[in-house]
A = this chain, B = another copy of it.
């Protein structure tokens, strides 16, 4: 029997909360410990419709199930009133390969686990007393990254920049309901960056947005937009000149992350080792050393996060008797 859990049922099980932080932290720890099998991402591009479908998976040793996640991104969708992202997760039994569950999340669980990874990055790498953040981008992750940052830092000022002014206005309108921040519309990436202690980039940009000379002592950057070879949000000099560059998964950021561009431009050697997020979660002293350090976390999104959140959602759905068994 396979349990089919739909979108609204998953929303009843999972919301963006600090409960999820240890779940995703543990996934990163297992990944960095080498307790996982995580093959390279499968990506199918459908160029004529400006779309892509990604498949991610990871098996975490000792766990009785693992997820395979399909995520689509079709960038013409908003023009016809549809969300850019969609997808589903499936959960397979680790011992038999049989299908335990289909989670029809439409990308919701991906959105949540991505946001939680962002809060984990800031929890371990930003200065603890940070109150100001720059949010670059105005989409779903721009919203979720800010919400999830508030789980770990007492944010009072938000400097928001996006290409489309009307979307900034909409963002401010939406986010002021969420919490009492000062939400400031910025006319340039530069001004947003210079005024902030934490910087979160959430765009699908194909060319870098943030210059190295704008970066201030003590800042932390989470670059979560780049998850494909062509995507790039930071000028690669930032990677070489910061005090601490942290990949979610080094093998992946070398190919898909900000690190990819630093390697391509020969600013960083392709074999250079960096401490992964999971190792810093285990031993935070490997990350930021002083208040003045500049830290960068490069999030490309990993299959272990998918396996962790899919398993957690499945257990909650079972305990709440949600979903439908189909043979």
The reply to whether the CB of A218 lies closer than 8 angstroms to some CB of chain B is no
B82 lies within 8 A of A96 (CB):
yes
With A42-B57, A57-B44, A92-B53 in contact, is A72–B97 under 8 Å at CB?
yes
B74 and A97 contacting across the interface, CB-CB below 8 Å: yes
Contacts of A55 in B (CB 8 A): 42, 55, 57, 68
Q: Which residues of B contact A324 (CB under 8 A)?
A: 326
Q: In the assembled complex, which residues on chain B have CB atoms less than 8 Å from the CB atom of A48?
A: 61
Complex CA–CA separation, A167 to B277 (angstroms): 51
The number of residues on chain A lying at the interface, defined by a beta carbon within 8 Å of a beta carbon of chain B, is 52
Question: A59 near B: Cβ within 8 Å?
Answer: yes
Smallest Cβ distance from A282 to chain B, in angstroms?
Answer: 24
Indicate if the CB atoms of A97 and B77 lie closer than 8 Å.
yes
Are B86 and A88 touching (Cβ within 8 A)? no
- Let me know if B42 and A37 touch, CB within 8 A: no
Return chain B residues, CB-CB under 8 Å to A92: 53, 70, 72
Identify which of residues 10-46 in chain A touch chain B, using a CB-to-CB cut-off of 8 Å.
37, 39-46
> Does any Cβ of B come within 8 Å of A245's Cβ?
no
Residue pair A4, B4 in contact (C-beta under 8 Å): yes
The smallest beta-carbon distance between A304 and chain B, in angstroms, is 12
Contact among B7, B59, B72 with A44 in the assembled complex (CB-CB below 8 Å)? B59
A48-76 vs B: 1/0 string, CB under 8 Å? 11011101011101000010101011101
Residues of B within 8 A of A316 (CB): none
Q: Tell whether, in the assembled complex, residue A99 and residue B86 are in contact, meaning their CB atoms are under 8 Å apart.
A: yes
Task: Report if A170 contacts B (CB, 8 A).
Answer: no
> A97 — which chain B residues lie within 8 A by C-beta?
51-53, 72-74, 77, 85-87
Q: A40 to B40, alpha carbons, bound, how many Å?
A: 10
* Residues B45 and A42 in contact, CB atoms below 8 Å apart: no
A40 contacts which chain B residues (CB < 8 A)? 42
Is A244 in the interface zone, CB < 8 Å from B?
Answer: no
Residue A266 CB within 8 A of the other chain: no
Distance from A31 Cβ to chain B, minimum over Cβ atoms (Å): 14
Which chain B positions have C-beta within 8 A of A72?
92, 97-98
Given A42-B57, A66-B44, A88-B90, A49-B95 contact (CB < 8 Å): yes
Residues of A bordering B, CB below 8 Å: 2, 4, 6-8, 37, 39-46, 48-49, 51-53, 55, 57-59, 61, 66, 68, 70, 72-74, 76-77, 80, 82, 85-88, 90, 92, 94-99, 102, 104, 106, 324, 326-327
